[in-house]
Structure 1
Amino acid sequence: MAIKNLREKINVSEAVGSLPIQKPEAKLYMSFMYVAFISLLIGGLMGLLQVFVRSGKFTLPWGIDYYQVLTVHGVILGLVLTTYFIIGFHFSVMGKTVGISEKQRKVAWFAFWTMVVGTVMTAVTILLGEASVLYTFYAPLRAHPAFYIGLALVIIGSWVAGFVNWHQLAVWKKKHPGEKSPLLAFMVTINTVMWFIASLGVAIAVLIQFIPWSLGWAETINVLVSRTLFWYFGHPLVYFWLLPAYMAWYAIIPKIIGGKIFSDSLARMSFVLFLFFSIPVGFHHQLTEPGIDPTWKFIQVVLTMMVVIPSLMTAFSLFATFEITGRRKGFKGLFGWLKHLPWKDVRFLAPFIGMLAFIPGGAGGIINASHQMNSLVHNTIWVTGHFHLTVATTVMLTFFGISYWLVPHLTGRTLTPKLNKLGIIQSIVWTIGMSIMSGAMHIQGLLGGPRRSSFSEYGGTEQASEWIGYQMAQAVGGTILFIGIILMVYIFVKLAWFAPKGHEEFPIAEEEDDAEPTPSYFENWKLWIAITIALILFAYTIPFIDIIQNSPAGSVPFDWPIGRY
């Protein structure tokens, strides 16, 4: 009788797309989280050293090079932290909604250890001063071969993780013929498809260009080709960071506030549009570069602006959910629903602040992608401030909000009122620090302040006196941010090992009862991938052929110094 009841519970759980996460699965998912939060601490320390150096009041000790610190900060936060957290979150979501088999789990462990080996190889070369090439690793900067080989392993490991996710959904669909896939599983699949297609660009650049060049097998490297391949990858990388935050906004936040998903169809369509318009737009990062036909730059700028559509769809859906939930609970007036959102619940507050930060962040992105306005801010510290608004605020605060329930759910502990209050303090500290630092970066950028430069390179110039106040503000904001990092790491440690034992909910919202049925064509993956590839071929084929045909035979000599400007 007990076994029958258990089976019935499992069947009901499968029906609503919420499967129990067993200990072996939780161990896998938490392994990615451990790497992510170690990266947060190390990368945050490097960021603190950066703003101190840029203030002109601090010199790095022991002969440490500024660009070494800058590379560690960019690589470990922009690539390592985000990728590990996202893949761990992907696995947890897929395990919860469609399940994971023992065989799939073993392959997932292979992906994890492949990424770890690659990460260690890359980290060692940077720490030894053999790869101070920043996270963009532009040629003609040249790193040690192990740096590029390590990057290749990280990419390969992430691909294996993506293949596991796709296989998980395929197995589920075989067991549930004719049913629509769970919304979160659909979203994970979109994000991994986008990641795979986009990372092909950087993988080709690393395997065909950088590794042979760094090993001495090739005497030259085509700089424009390498930069074009990088930015084919570099812009969708931003959406690879952002879409997991959108997953939480669409499908998890409604549950936390006691509501339901406004529209399953709208959520799926927004993700499909992000897949279409996030990849064929890399030229808007290369608007000031010669060698690319201006017509194709303009076309890709137009395609870039198309991502505004799914962003506005998301904003509409979220605030519709907030208002409907509030009014259903009896809150009246124009903004009565807003006043009664769960502001004292850090699982909601942290992501909500991230949502608000995306408003100025998105506006800055439009400026960066605009043909004329880009010329004003290109390669200034404005761009750095923009990254810190989008990735370091919108994405990171949402990731923190996810961590407050995901980590205790996986470790069998609870988010106590004390830790919840500390999380609210951490969110406020982070917001204040980022507002000061990012705001100062934006203003200094408008005054012409360069990015990727230490104070020693321009400290004696006439413009430096105009910038010094903003650089001091960046140091103040960076210090406050580092306090926020310490608080977040402390909370993570408590939730992972020391919080009281218990059960924390894995919040997945259901769709509104009267919502329109989700059209079956959303499950037509061949169609979505074919359209994506067609857009990429349209945007890149002719200009890429033109770049190869008209580039000089030998762009950069092999004996360019390793890891130096």
Structure 2
Amino acid sequence: MTNYTTAQMLAPNTKVDKKDAKLVLANMIWVAFALLIGGTAGLLQTLVRSGHFELPFGIGYYQLLTLHGVILALVMTFFFIMGFQIAALSRTSGPLNKKERTLGWIGFWVMTIGTLMSATMIALNEASVLYTFYAPLQAHVIHYIGLALVIVGTWISVAGQMMRYFRWRRENKGQKTPLLSYMTAVNNLMWYVCTIGVASTVLFQFVPWSLGLVETINITLSRTLFWYFGHALVYFWLLPAYMVWYAVTPKILGAKGFSDNLARLSFVLFLFFSIPVGIHHQLVDPGIDAFWKGLQVVLTFMVIVPSLMTAFSMFAVFETYGRNKGATGLLDWFKKLPWTDARFVLLFIGMLFFIPGGLGGIINASGQMNQLVHNTIWIVGHFHITVGAPVILTYFAAMMFLLPHLTGRKIDKIANRLGLMLAYTWALGMGIMSAAMHFAGLRGAPRRSTFSEYGGAEVAEEWITYQVMQAVGGSFLFIAIIIAILLFLKLVTGPKVNDVEEFPVAEFMDQYDPAVKWVDNWRLLIIITAFLVLIAYTVPITQMFTENIPGAKGFKLW
């Protein structure tokens, strides 16, 4: 195995290329816009559910619910991930060439067109089908085509990113690839594999059906193809946050990361076990044999391993940092952490939210416990403290150093103070709202429904307190969104400086140790990923075509 010299391991540059920066910034502008629109829709939902607010201008509740899901869960996250990954590649592997950057711009504009198409149909109330777009709910065909274009746009952008990664490998044979570039490639490979499911169901089922070319649709197949994509989607959101945790956080602290090789291994395990697990979202669905549900539950629990590896790595960094600052007691290191640095506080609060989020995920994926919470607002609460806290707060932290780095500015005291206000306000709002959702879900409150649909005074009385708490939490979250927008504007419009904010990238304790060879063997990684997917899905999907199972043959529209 090859030993690497210090010169070989140093990144070729310390800044994002100026031409790449324009592409990254274009994506980040969409993030801010989507956050404001989606956040407003979320606030209105909580107010409606409280029973003390009616929507004006004939706006429908499910219209808002669809907008909230699509614009935040898909549009905002996709644009951030494309922008951040391009920045990470440019920072650690060097500038994109003209072809790679052009693919990034084409992907950006295809995503933009798709977003506008979908948003138009939602605004016209022609696509109130939620972001999961379950049949038999049917949207206008333009909505489905728009969502397909958003996915295609990511494929095009990812193609440019993968070209940059493999070009670095060709130009630097025998060297360990920069960690952030490696992580980006793993996340992109997972994305290509998992989006086969949603692309297939949209193009071959929903588009023909919405055009009236076919009369029926295989509901079980459509749900299965969606969740083949849908659970990996969660890790597509999460892995960029893990990139920041592993590769950026230690540098923010002024410390070294725990283990470069462990970080790579954790990402490989996420690649293997993030896709063949979607059926655990369908534990109560007919048409899928119990054995295959059980198998995918086991595979789901395998994801706990890289999650625990990440937790161990990060808290090892925190404790080491604290010890170096003079901490001696069991937990004294906690007080030594940089609690006045908004970048760190945003990250750390997000990590803390992931602890109850992970525990809730274990419950959701467990067959019998899932029966209690399935299709209740508990699921919504879980979704918000996994995606709406760890992921989004880490995205905010990333934008704090990324935006001024791209525009030639510096984080000043006002920006840092806004970042701290954002972290604590977001944590307060999300804590109140998600706790209310979890407690209401344990008492049977349904997800997606409005207060007026609950029916029965006794039932409504039992849930009313939790609905009001949701509105309170949602209000704090909306205040936090306003702070985030102000922070965004502050970071991109302040005075330019010579000492530009850095894009921090950490070194690791094992920085110059050789890479584990099989972890860098992309052919092997693809074969193992494909094998696990085939094992988990071949028989269940075959049965949906060959066996007379309730729900598998579709339905008649009339």
Short-chain TM bin: over 0.9
Alignment partner for residue 305 of structure 1, among 301, 305, 320? 301
Distance 1:482 1:334 in 2: 38
- Per the TM alignment, residue 15 of structure 1 is displaced from its structure 2 partner at its CA by 3.3
Q: How do residues 238-253 of structure 1 correspond to structure 2 at under 5 angstroms?
A: 238-253=234-249
Q: How do residues 501-512 of structure 1 correspond to structure 2 at under 5 angstroms?
A: 501-502=497-498, 503-512=500-509
2:47 paired residue number? 52
Alignment partner for residue 353 of structure 1, among 346, 349, 362? 349
1:486 paired residue number? 482
1:164 paired residue number? 160
Distance 2:503 2:12 in 1: 12
Q: Secondary structure at the match of 1:63?
A: coil
Distance 2:87 2:183 in 1: 13
1:79 paired residue number? 74
1:529 paired residue number? 526
TM-score for the superposition, normalised by structure 2: 0.96
Distance 1:281 1:456 in 2: 35
Partner AA of 1:95 in structure 2: S
Partner AA of 2:47 in structure 1: F
- Per the TM alignment, residue 331 of structure 1 is displaced from its structure 2 partner at its CA by 3.0
Change (3 A) 1:499 1:450: farther
- Comparing 419-428 and 475-484, the one that deviates more: 419-428
Alignment partner for residue 423 of structure 1, among 419, 425, 429? 419
1:465 paired residue number? 461
Q: How do residues 80-99 of structure 1 correspond to structure 2 at under 5 angstroms?
A: 80-99=75-94
Q: What is the RMSD of the two structures over their aligned residues, measured on CA atoms? A: 1.6
Q: Secondary structure at the match of 1:449?
A: coil
- Per the TM alignment, residue 374 of structure 1 is displaced from its structure 2 partner at its CA by 0.3
Q: Are the aligned partners of 2:251 and 2:504 in contact in 1 as well (CA < 8 Å)? A: yes
Query: Once the two structures are aligned, what percentage of the paired residues are identical?
Result: 56
Q: Give the ranges of 4+ consecutive aligned residues of structure 1 lying more than 4 Å apart after TM superposition.
A: 11-14, 513-516, 551-554
- Per the TM alignment, residue 336 of structure 1 is displaced from its structure 2 partner at its CA by 2.7
**Which runs of 5 or more residues in structure 1 are unaligned?**
1-10, 560-565
Q: How do residues 287-326 of structure 1 correspond to structure 2 at under 5 angstroms?
A: 287-326=283-322
Distance 1:375 1:470 in 2: 21
TM-score for the superposition, normalised by structure 1: 0.95
Distance 2:125 2:285 in 1: 29
Distance 1:413 1:83 in 2: 25
Q: How do residues 207-286 of structure 1 correspond to structure 2 at under 5 angstroms?
A: 207-286=203-282
Change (3 A) 1:155 1:259: same
- Per the TM alignment, residue 338 of structure 1 is displaced from its structure 2 partner at its CA by 1.8
Alignment partner for residue 36 of structure 1, among 31, 38, 43? 31
Partner AA of 2:477 in structure 1: L
Partner AA of 1:263 in structure 2: S
Partner AA of 2:28 in structure 1: M
Distance 1:105 1:238 in 2: 27
Q: Are the aligned partners of 2:245 and 2:314 in contact in 1 as well (CA < 8 Å)? A: yes
Post-superposition CA distance 1:443-500 (Å, at most 9, x none) = 0000000001111211545311100000000000100110000000110011112355
Partner AA of 2:418 in structure 1: L
Q: Does 1:540 align with 2:509?
A: no
- Per the TM alignment, residue 92 of structure 1 is displaced from its structure 2 partner at its CA by 0.4
Distance 1:415 1:553 in 2: 55
Alignment partner for residue 109 of structure 2, among 109, 113, 117? 113
Change (3 A) 1:175 1:65: same
Q: Does 1:23 align with 2:22?
A: no
- Comparing 219-228 and 507-516, the one that deviates more: 507-516
Partner AA of 2:467 in structure 1: Q
Distance 1:554 1:532 in 2: 29
Change (3 A) 1:13 1:87: farther
Partner AA of 2:534 in structure 1: L
Q: Secondary structure at the match of 1:133?
A: coil
Q: Secondary structure at the match of 1:373?
A: helix
Alignment partner for residue 410 of structure 1, among 398, 406, 413? 406
- Comparing 331-340 and 207-216, the one that deviates more: 331-340
- Per the TM alignment, residue 554 of structure 1 is displaced from its structure 2 partner at its CA by 5.3
Change (3 A) 1:141 1:461: farther
Partner AA of 1:93 in structure 2: A
Q: Are the aligned partners of 2:347 and 2:394 in contact in 1 as well (CA < 8 Å)? A: yes
Alignment partner for residue 184 of structure 2, among 188, 197, 210? 188
Change (3 A) 1:421 1:500: farther
Q: Secondary structure at the match of 2:87?
A: helix
Partner AA of 2:374 in structure 1: H
Post-superposition CA distance 1:417-459 (Å, at most 9, x none) = 1210121011100000110000000000000000011112115
Distance 1:200 1:398 in 2: 28
- Per the TM alignment, residue 140 of structure 1 is displaced from its structure 2 partner at its CA by 0.4
Post-superposition CA distance 1:233-257 (Å, at most 9, x none) = 0000001011111100000000000
Change (3 A) 1:147 1:514: closer
Change (3 A) 1:398 1:388: same
Q: Are the aligned partners of 2:436 and 2:467 in contact in 1 as well (CA < 8 Å)? A: yes
Change (3 A) 1:512 1:214: same
Partner AA of 1:251 in structure 2: A
Change (3 A) 1:151 1:378: same
Change (3 A) 1:499 1:387: farther
Post-superposition CA distance 1:324-355 (Å, at most 9, x none) = 22223433222232211111101111010000
Q: Secondary structure at the match of 2:368?
A: coil
- Comparing 332-341 and 22-31, the one that deviates more: 332-341
**Which runs of 5 or more residues in structure 2 are unaligned?**
1-5
- Per the TM alignment, residue 556 of structure 1 is displaced from its structure 2 partner at its CA by 2.4
Change (3 A) 1:366 1:499: farther
Q: Does 1:339 align with 2:321?
A: no
1:562 paired residue number? none
Change (3 A) 1:237 1:262: same
Q: Does 1:556 align with 2:544?
A: no
Partner AA of 1:226 in structure 2: S
Change (3 A) 1:514 1:536: closer
- Comparing 236-245 and 101-110, the one that deviates more: 101-110
